[in-house]
Amino acid sequence: MIPVISSPAREPRLTDALPAGILKAFVQYAAHSIQVHEDMILMNMLGGINTALNGKIAIKLGNQPPQPVQLYLLLIANPGERKSPAAAVSMRPVGKWLKDRCDQRLYFDDSSGSGLVQAMTSNGGRLACHDPEPQLLHSICRGGIPVTTLCKAYEGESLHIDRSRQKPIFVPDPAISLCISSQPNSALQFGRNQKVRASGLLARMLFLLPQPMAGTRIIDVPPIPAEAEAHYERLIYQMLEYTPSAAERCVLTLEPAAESEFRAFAQEIEWGLVPGGPFSFDTAWSAKLAGKVARLASLLHCASHELPWGMPITCDTVRQAVFMARVFMGHAQRVFFLVDHGEVWEAAGAIEQWARFSLKASFSAQDASMALPSFPRKLIMASIDMLLRHERIYEDFSFLNGEVTVRRGRVRAPRYRLANGGQA
């Protein structure tokens, strides 16, 4: 389960960036119908757009070469938060489109590294994974799919695999888009994997940890209006049917005001990377945030216009992407905190729960360690220290007034009591 960290009653949402219109209405209708957080629907909708446009468009910023726009999205939610229905709504138009085109392939699931690259060669270098389950994360952790393959595909760098007994596999312009939903345990295991962290794959992802809704949902709600669903379906079909006229991707550009808006945010990020700065919580992730803004702006641009291919991206669209980036940054801060310190939170919660229901008036680190053998002693000590700093427990000095006897000649180990008499 995701530990509860204090936050405002109404956190900024991704959907706050969307202007009023039928696209935002679809997100709200779907969220109400399924009874999930609005941002879960929008995250999956970005995944659907990501899949439909995968490998077809790029964006040019200033004098730089065109950059790919596909995103790697990871939604993290507790069990029972209806991740599968939220994903199904956004994937439904893609499934209907594929049903009539048996020769087309868009998705991949679990695969070997060479198998994935080989599948990409037969599919124009483009594949997507839009999965409400974390199988792909497990595959990456156990080495089934090399992290370098995903990192290169994110950047659009060519893939080359030499095979001793068969022809080499070469993909000159790979494009992989990801939208994966996961329970916290799998996501944190993925984030704590040393190969994943060292490769920079985690830094290329956008994360969403929506507030849990279990216990607050309404059972009897109306379905999504047919008009809203039809609009989203037409939008996805339009993107799926689009084929660039040239062999290369269609290149989008920013209008001058949008370019200035983008550069101002990129400069803000750069200044915030200094130690102690607002973007310094993970410099690898934050250093790639400007590029993620460009990718978000491209997807939002294509979702907002009937014929977006010949139009520049407007300043308003870049502002929407920047707003979303700030929301994503808040979620990323929480993810990296849980990746780096989440085990301490988990052990601390276990200690607190055990102490609340045990019959001991006070406890020592050894008592907690014996009662919770699944946690290493070092982790127990770190968790007790954190509980002390957050005033969830306090050190018991009752031995000073003779309530507790201490054997002569031995140093007394510290003992602790729950704050507030053990009440949450």
Least-confidence region, from 79-83, 225-229, 245-249, 259-263:
245-249
Least-confidence region, from 56-65, 136-145, 167-176:
167-176
Whether 381 maps to a domain, the answer reads yes
Whether 85 maps to a domain, the answer reads yes
Do 394 and 249 share a structural domain?
A: no
pLDDT confidence of residue 160? 83
Contacts of 378 (CB under 8 A, 6+ apart): none
Q: Is residue 42 scored above 90 in pLDDT?
A: yes
Do 363 and 217 share a structural domain?
A: no
Residue of 337 and 320 predicted with greater confidence = 320
Whether 91 maps to a domain, the answer reads yes
Beta-strand (E) ranges in 3-76? 57-60, 67-68, 72-76
Average pLDDT over residues 98-105: 79
Residue of 165 and 371 predicted with greater confidence = 371
Choose one of 226, 255, 284: the last residue of a domain: 255
d(CA 290, CA 261): 11
Average pLDDT over residues 370-381: 90
> Burial of 423 by CB count in 10 Å (0-12 exposed, 13-18 middle, 19+ buried)?
exposed
Whether 31 maps to a domain, the answer reads yes
Write the pLDDT tens digit of every residue in 269-299: 999 999 999 999 999 999 999 999 999 999 9
Reported pTM = 0.84
Cα 90 to chain centroid distance, Å, stands at 17
What does the buried/exposed string (b/e) look like for 130-157 if buried means 16 or more CB atoms within 10 Å of the residue's CB? Answer: bbbbbebbebbbeebbbbebbbbbbebe
Q: Is residue 404 scored above 90 in pLDDT?
A: no
d(CA 226, CA 209): 29
Do 195 and 50 share a structural domain?
A: yes
> What is the DSSP track for 223-279?
PPPHHHHHHHHHHHHHHHH---SSSSPEEEEB-HHHHHHHHHHHHHHHHTTSTTSTT
Q: Of 44, 164, 72, 161, which is closest to residue 113 (Cα–Cα)?
A: 161
Average pLDDT over residues 253-268: 97
CATH of the domain at 161: 3.40.50
If you average pLDDT over each of 117-121, 313-317, 383-387, which comes out highest? 313-317
Average pLDDT over residues 246-260: 90
pLDDT confidence of residue 406? 52
Q: Is residue 248 scored above 90 in pLDDT?
A: no
Average pLDDT over residues 388-394: 88
3-state secondary structure (DSSP) of residue 77: coil
Structure tokens, 142: 């156990």
Q: Is residue 249 scored above 50 in pLDDT?
A: yes
Q: Is residue 86 scored above 90 in pLDDT?
A: yes
Choose one of 255, 272, 290: the last residue of a domain: 255
Choose one of 236, 255, 274: the last residue of a domain: 255
Average pLDDT over residues 12-34: 93
How much is the mean pLDDT over the chain?
A: 88
Do 197 and 69 share a structural domain?
A: yes
The 10 Å Cβ neighbour count of residue 237 is 15
pLDDT confidence of residue 53? 94
pLDDT confidence of residue 400? 59
Whether 302 maps to a domain, the answer reads no
Average pLDDT over residues 2-13: 60
Q: Of 32, 37, 39, which is closest to residue 16 (Cα–Cα)?
A: 39
Do 376 and 237 share a structural domain?
A: no
Q: Is residue 422 scored above 60 in pLDDT?
A: no
Q: How sure is the predictor about 413, in pLDDT bands with cuts at 50, 70 and 90?
A: confident
Average pLDDT over residues 3-20: 74
Least-confidence region, from 86-90, 98-102, 402-406:
402-406
- Are the C-beta atoms of 135 and 118 separated by less than 8 Å? no
Do 365 and 229 share a structural domain?
A: no
Whether 157 maps to a domain, the answer reads yes
Write the pLDDT tens digit of every residue in 350-359: 899 898 888 7
* Total number of domains constituting the chain: 2
Q: How sure is the predictor about 4, in pLDDT bands with cuts at 50, 70 and 90?
A: very low
pLDDT confidence of residue 106? 86
Q: Is residue 247 scored above 60 in pLDDT?
A: yes
Do 221 and 79 share a structural domain?
A: yes
Write the pLDDT tens digit of every residue in 158-200: 888 776 677 778 888 899 999 999 999 899 999 999 999 999 9
Domain residue limits at 399: 358-422
Q: Is residue 403 scored above 60 in pLDDT?
A: no
Q: Is residue 145 scored above 80 in pLDDT?
A: yes
Do 54 and 201 share a structural domain?
A: yes
Whether 344 maps to a domain, the answer reads no
Whether 317 maps to a domain, the answer reads no
pLDDT confidence of residue 342? 81
Report strand pairing: 126-131 vs 175-182: parallel
pLDDT confidence of residue 119? 83
